[in-house]
């Protein structure tokens, strides 16, 4: 493998550009089930008609599982926000518009968002009273069939000459969009600024006719579900929201 360049490096995966392809190479100890499930998620979302990179193949490269998909030329919204901070509100509005369109889609073959979240809560080693409270909040949330991303933030949206593309579907599910928005709020708060998160929340609620208090009520459950994914710093951040 002689890719053109490294696009991103994370704890257990490295993403490369190779011509018109994008190679997501996982570490040797990464779960094969999770890798194949991510590829299946992305293939299912392709059928909704959204702009996303299309899966080309799933293979082994140097003994490491690799997902090969289309390489999307452009800049992420997070990159654009850094380059043009004076346009932050404009980019957040674009983020909200893209996510709201995504939520109009349905992909019933995906896992249910409520079930995924409940399972993550049980794995988060929470105090029993806290776990009971968060599960009760999820039980109050109406069922829905919105396509939910699970990690929707500026770094996962690429603006290209052919429109906006949504990347990284490893956490995709089908469920209630308010919980997906709660996760996006937390990710903006963590990776951008608290002001960006509040602007996002206001714009999302205005566009979709949702009371912001409804989303904020779900923030503790959304935060607890993220604990197993983050590094130590991120876990501290999410734990602060559970309380």
pLDDT at 155: 96
Burial class, 47, CB count within 10 angstroms (exposed 0-12 / middle 13-18 / buried 19+):
exposed
pLDDT at 229: 77
User: How would DSSP label each residue in 37-51?
Assistant: HHHHHHHHHHTTT--
Query: What does R_g of the chain's alpha carbons equal in angstroms?
Result: 18
Query: Which run of H or E residues covers position 184?
Result: helix 177-191
> Mind listing the pLDDT tens digit for each residue in 147-159?
999 999 999 999 9
Q: Give the up-direction half-sphere exposure of residue 125: CA atoms within 13 A in the CB hemisphere.
A: 4
Closest alpha carbon to 146 in 169, 112, 121? 112
DSSP 115-158: HHHHHHHHHTT--HHHHHHHHHHHHHSPP--EEE-SS-SGGGEE
Percent of the chain past pLDDT 90, that is, above it, reads 88
Q: CB of 52 within 8 A of CB of 166?
A: yes
The pLDDT score that the predictor gives to residue 178 is 98
Query: Does position 243 have pLDDT exceeding 90, yes or no?
Result: no
Residue 124 confidence (pLDDT): 87
Residue 174: burial class (beta carbons within 10 Å; 0-12, 13-18, 19+)? buried
Return the SS3 of 109.
coil
Give per-residue pLDDT as tens, 191-231: 999 999 999 999 999 999 999 999 999 999 999 999 877 77
pLDDT grade for 1, boundaries at 50, 70 and 90: low
Cα distance between residue 98 and residue 86, in whole Å = 20
Residue 45 pLDDT level (bands cut at 50, 70, 90): very high
pLDDT reading at 2 higher than 70: no
- Reported as type and span, the H/E element at residue 110 is none
For residues 60 and 123, the model is more confident at 60
Position 26 scores a pLDDT of: 96
Q: What is the pLDDT of residue 76?
A: 97
Q: How many Cα atoms within 13 Å fall on the side-chain side of residue 200?
A: 29
CA 163 – CA 158 distance, rounded (Å)? 8
Using the predicted structure, report yes or no on whether residue 14 has a pLDDT greater than 90: yes
* pLDDT tens digits, one per residue of 52-109: 999 999 999 999 999 999 999 999 999 999 999 999 999 999 999 999 999 999 999 9
The enclosing H or E element of 33 equals helix 32-46
């Amino acid at each position: 493998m002689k890719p053109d360049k490294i696009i991103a490096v994370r704890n257990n995966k490295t993403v490369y550009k190779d011509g018109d392809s994008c190679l997501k190479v996982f570490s040797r100890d990464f779960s094969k089930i999770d890798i194949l499930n991510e590829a299946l998620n992305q293939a299912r979302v392709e059928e909704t008609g959204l702009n996303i990179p299309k899966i080309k193949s799933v293979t082994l490269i140097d003994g490491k599982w690799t997902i090969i998909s289309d390489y999307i030329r452009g800049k992420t919204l997070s990159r654009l926000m850094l380059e043009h901070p004076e346009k932050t509100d404009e980019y957040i509005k674009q983020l909200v518009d893209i996510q709201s369109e995504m939520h109009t889609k349905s992909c019933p073959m995906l896992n249910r968002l409520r079930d995924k979240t409940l399972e993550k809560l049980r794995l988060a080693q929470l105090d029993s009273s806290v776990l009971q409270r968060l599960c009760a909040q999820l039980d109050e949330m109406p069922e829905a069939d919105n396509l939910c991303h699970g990690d929707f933030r500026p770094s996962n949206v690429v603006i290209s000459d052919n429109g906006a593309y949504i990347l990284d579907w490893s956490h995709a599910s089908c469920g209630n969009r308010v919980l997906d928005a709660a996760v996006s709020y937390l990710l903006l708060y963590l990776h951008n600024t608290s002001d960006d998160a509040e602007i996002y929340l206001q714009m999302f609620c205005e566009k979709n006719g949702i009371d912001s208090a409804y989303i904020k009520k779900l923030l503790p459950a959304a935060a607890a579900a993220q604990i197993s994914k983050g590094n130590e710093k991120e876990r501290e951040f999410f734990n602060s929201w559970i309380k």
